[in-house]
Structure 1
Amino acid sequence: MLVEERYRRIRALLKAHGTVSVDHMTEALGVSRETIRRDLVELDTAGEIRRVHGGAMFVESELPISVRAGIRVKEKRALARGALGHIGSGQTLFIDAGTTTAILADALASLSGLHIVTNSVAVANELAGERAAKSGGHAVHLLGGAFNASVGATYGGAAIAEVHRFHADIALLSPVGVDAVHGATSFVQEEAEMADAMSRNAKQTLILADYSKIGVRSRVVSCPVERISAIVTNSRAAKSADAQALAEAVRAIEYV
């Protein structure tokens, strides 16, 4: 069994039962206790589960953005490089808030002539900063609205109303998960509403999802499958059943 398939099944067991013993997971997956323990260490380190004595438990809430910023950084940088191949000078881009899109902003700072519309303070700051200016600069519009300090982003009716004033070439979104049935999903409704508005007002929607998000369904749909133009994910996910299902449901998947 491929490692990503084991991770998917472990997540599913924990989501269904809350807390599951190592013995139960060993029997359900048909692998050794040592394999399960290694998988749990990896998933715990990534912040997706919590190990407890004799097993593991499902994480009920999304990790703080300060913690998520330090997880799978190498993989997120690869996604950012992959996204650059879809972006051309002079385009208008919607970019939502998140640790992946913050890394994307760092990559975009080396380009010039883009019009950026974002609800993320980190994205706006990076793309309006000195490094971007040295490359020719971008026009950056930070959406107004209710400010969420824990995420460093604006949300709510005022911010969404502003989104509808723009027509973007591409919406670049980084959800909590993406699967073949529900599309892109988010943990928090206000984040899902922002991503939905951006997607609806863009010609194309590009989903940036590292390998751990493939096949994952969170609480609220932020962009249904039919509106996803392409998904950029890590090559580590290529052989998983979830990625294969997504390849049949969306227009394109790019592995980086």
Structure 2
Amino acid sequence: MKWCYNKRKRGDFMLPDERFRRILEIIRKKQSVTVQELVKQIGISESTVRRDLAALDKKGLLHKVHGGATSIDAGFGAEETVAKKSLKNVDEKRRIAQYCAEIIRPDDFIYLDAGTTTEMMIDFLTEKKASYVTNGIMHAKKLMDYGFRVYLIGGELRAVTEAVVGEEALESLRKYNFTKGFFGINGISKKSGFTTPDVNEALVKKTALSQCLDAYILADASKFGRISAVCVAGLDQAVIVTGKLKEPSFLKYTAIKEVSE
């Protein structure tokens, strides 16, 4: 006689509400979590974790992403400073920045959005005949120091991102027609598109993107599956340049360029 052993873990026998409570408690503390982390911490099987995450996502209590989940608050409200962002995912950002710098041509009129990855692009730029417009204070200074022709749009300076925003910035952008635009972003979601926490910065991104013949979103892996407070554009309105794409289903929504090692 063959005996069949059920591989369910002890936690699988917990009531669903108790499992949900534990999962949400962990995600509130960590902001994001993988399936395997939940398996270990709660003592439930992988299949149960995936079912529970799907149920909680449907209830709007978390965001289910490839291989795990993020807090519903991840990316909303407060934003990290440029100094903190510049220390994260540096190698991937550098590869993305180099690829984008290499596709600029002599006759290009470029919009360079404020952001840590777009700033890294400047280190790889070689095309001196192109012209550059930016709302990034540090971007403008760096471009000038490297000998590029640069235009800084006017407006209000937002300290946390060192970006120029406001109605004056929007009016300036509406006068331009860019051949290519390169943008930073906080969240990329199938449901909400490209998102960012601040409404004024979102308006600048949205306006600049609408003035571009070709638009590129520079995004490391941490941006996928995240949703911030304000929508900038739908996924089909820009090409995403990233490292190794972990969730191929995003390819159904827009063109994506993977820049692997």
Report the TM-score, using the length of structure 1 for normalisation: 0.72
Structure-2 change in CA distance of 1:149 and 1:27 (3 Å):
closer
* Equivalent in the alignment of 1:207: 217
Partners in 1 of 2:119 and 2:231 — Cα distance?
22
Partners in 2 of 1:175 and 1:181 — Cα distance?
15
Residue 61 of structure 1 deviates from its aligned partner by: 2.2
The answer (yes or no) to whether the contact 1:181–1:225 under 8 Å persists in 2 is no
Report the TM-score, using the length of structure 2 for normalisation: 0.71
Summarize the alignment of residues 91-240 of structure 1 with structure 2, pairs less than 5 Å apart.
91-108=108-125, 110-129=126-145, 132-133=146-147, 138-228=148-238, 230-235=239-244, 238=245, 240=246
Deviations 1:92-118 (A, max 9, x none): 11111111111112222x331111111
Letter of the 2:259 counterpart = Y
Residue 210 of structure 1 deviates from its aligned partner by: 0.4
Partners in 2 of 1:212 and 1:20 — Cα distance?
14
Percent sequence identity is: 24
1:81 correspondence with 2:98:
yes
Partners in 2 of 1:14 and 1:65 — Cα distance?
29
Partner SS state of residue 84, structure 2: helix
Letter of the 1:144 counterpart = G
Partners in 2 of 1:169 and 1:252 — Cα distance?
19
Partners in 2 of 1:222 and 1:16 — Cα distance?
30
The answer (yes or no) to whether the contact 1:14–1:20 under 8 Å persists in 2 is no
Deviations 1:30-75 (A, max 9, x none): 63239xxxxxxxxxxxxxxxxxxxxx98666222222112222211
* Equivalent in the alignment of 1:33: 41
Q: Please list every run of 5 or more consecutive structure 2 residues that lacks an aligned counterpart in the other structure.
A: 1-22, 43-69
The answer (yes or no) to whether the contact 1:146–1:154 under 8 Å persists in 2 is yes
* Equivalent in the alignment of 2:249: 245
In the alignment of these two chains, the number of paired residues is: 209
Rg larger in structure: 2
Structure-2 change in CA distance of 1:218 and 1:15 (3 Å):
farther
Partners in 2 of 1:140 and 1:26 — Cα distance?
43
Q: Please list every run of 5 or more consecutive structure 1 residues that lacks an aligned counterpart in the other structure.
A: 1-12, 35-55
Structure 1: which 4+ aligned runs deviate by more than 6 Å?
25-29
Residue 16 of structure 1 deviates from its aligned partner by: 11
CA RMSD of aligned residues (A): 3.1
Structure-2 change in CA distance of 1:76 and 1:252 (3 Å):
closer
* Equivalent in the alignment of 1:53: none
Partner SS state of residue 212, structure 1: helix
Partners in 2 of 1:175 and 1:26 — Cα distance?
23
Partners in 1 of 2:234 and 2:217 — Cα distance?
11
Partners in 2 of 1:26 and 1:116 — Cα distance?
40
* Equivalent in the alignment of 1:70: 87
Residue 220 of structure 1 deviates from its aligned partner by: 0.8
